[in-house]
Amino acid sequence: MSIYAIGDIQGCAERLDALLALIHAASPDAQLIFLGDLVNRGPDSLATLRKIRGLGTRARVVLGNHDLHLLAVSLGIRKPHPADTVMEILEAHDRDELLNWLRHQSLALYEQGHLLVHAGVLPQWSTTQVLALAQEVETRLRSENWGDFLREMYGNEPTSWNDNLEGAARMRCIVNGLTRLRYCTAVGEMEFITKESPGNPMPGYMPWFRVPNRQTADTTVIFGHWSTLGLSLQDNIIGLDTGCVWGGKLTALRLSDRGLLQVACPQYQRPC
């Protein structure tokens, strides 16, 4: 059975349909793992959610920062950004079913020797620990008090991991590492300002996957989130955010042999 990882869609439903057609032609019974940021910034976030949910057990998702943002906006915890394209979801007749499905998705998955997350992993975390920490967040997000978790989730502190972290600080650090991380120091202090490719990081910072002695270096980590990095195929890291909503491509990678399928994407221009 083939398993494909799919990079950030961000509401580009029509391009998702085109990519799924390519996957079906190559592997009709393929399983799909979506790397988060299913929604927002693109033209049809509602259709994207409906499509992926409609795939049933064929599809699994690791949540991204835009997906969590949608959940927070749905409860009035965050205000919509002017560039957001999620209001159609919140006004849909099936909004509750879609949001309930979304909050029951994962923060990290392990499949065929690959660790799949939306953004990255802190250097102190082993593969086993990443999955355990993700489950801590998933338990909170799937609980009846999931709104309380989202109210505590936002913020840049603490900037680094400590096994003794507790409560909201612990949850926030896990979420930031898995859904927002691009750059950190050699000891894992996170920086959330820089979004450019790794050519010119802030002094003392480096891409999370270049930290020496990273504990997940023995596992291939597949991630999205970093459109300016683009497609990155290295021995133990695979970056699959190829900037679909920004006029790049939407990319799927077959885990068994790194076979690639891609569709070109026009840059979305939000109506004024």
List Cα–Cα distances, 82 to 87, 207, 270, in angstroms: 11, 29, 10
Contact assessment for residue 156 and residue 193, using Cβ atoms and an 8 Å cutoff? no
Q: Give CA–CA dist 123/41, Å, rounded.
A: 30
- Is 48 contained in some domain? yes
- Is 269 contained in some domain? no
- Would you say the pTM of this structure is higher than 0.85? yes
- Is 252 contained in some domain? yes
Residue 223 backbone dihedrals phi, psi, to 5 degrees:
-150, 170
pLDDT in tens, the chain (272 residues): 899 999 999 999 999 999 999 999 999 999 999 999 999 999 999 999 999 999 999 999 999 999 999 999 999 999 999 999 999 999 999 999 999 999 999 999 999 999 999 999 999 999 999 999 999 999 999 999 999 999 999 999 999 999 999 999 999 999 999 999 999 999 999 999 888 888 778 889 999 999 999 999 999 999 999 999 999 999 999 999 999 999 999 999 999 999 999 999 998 877 65
Q: Domain holding 219: CATH number?
A: 3.60.21.10
Range of the domain at 229: 3-264
- Is 178 contained in some domain? yes
- Is 272 contained in some domain? no
